[in-house]
């Protein structure tokens, strides 16, 4: 069983992955600190955590592509307002991903930003 990764760490990994393919990334929501008195982000309820403007990908007809990401740690659930935002994006044809690094990597793979390659380490390599 995998160790649980916090939403804060997932978000950091998501931002790094998006930037690695040349995306302009805007972090909108930051998970609150554990010791914070106010537990919310101060943003409009339902607004996703990250907005990325991805560069042109082979399967897209436009020069850039907008992607909203609602970062969730494994087992995290959408609140009612987040479901409404996601559903609006789907109706409007706007890309929206819910999840952590794995969900964003899958999206980037499916849309030509990444390619599948085998990664391995030779015996003896450290």
Tens digits of pLDDT across the chain (126 residues): 567 888 889 999 999 999 999 999 999 966 566 665 555 666 788 999 999 999 876 555 555 689 999 999 999 999 999 999 999 999 999 999 999 999 999 999 988 888 877 555 455 554
Query: For the structural domain made of 7-31+43-110, what CATH number should be given?
Result: 3.40.1350.10
Query: How far is Cα 35 from Cα 88, in angstroms, rounded to an integer?
Result: 34
Residue 65, sorted as left (phi over 0), alpha (psi -120 to 50) or beta, turns out to be beta
Instruction: Note whether 57 and 112 are within 8 A (CB).
Output: yes
Give me the phi and psi of 104, to 5 degrees please. Answer: -70, -40
Query: How far is Cα 44 from Cα 87, in angstroms, rounded to an integer?
Result: 16
- Classify strands 64-71 and 50-55 as parallel, antiparallel or unpaired: antiparallel
């Amino acid at each position: 069983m995998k160790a649980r990764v916090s939403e804060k760490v997932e978000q950091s990994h998501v931002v790094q992955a998006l930037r690695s393919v040349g995306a302009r990334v805007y972090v909108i929501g930051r998970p609150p600190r554990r010791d914070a008195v106010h537990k919310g982000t101060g943003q409009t309820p339902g607004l996703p955590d990250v907005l990325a403007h991805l560069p042109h990908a082979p399967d897209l007809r436009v020069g850039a592509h907008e992607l909203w990401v609602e970062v969730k740690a494994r087992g995290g659930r959408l609140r009612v307002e987040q479901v409404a935002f996601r559903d609006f994006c789907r109706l409007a044809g706007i890309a929206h991903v819910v999840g952590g690094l794995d969900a964003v990597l899958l999206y980037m793979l499916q849309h030509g930003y990444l390619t599948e390659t085998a990664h391995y380490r030779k015996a003896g390599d450290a």
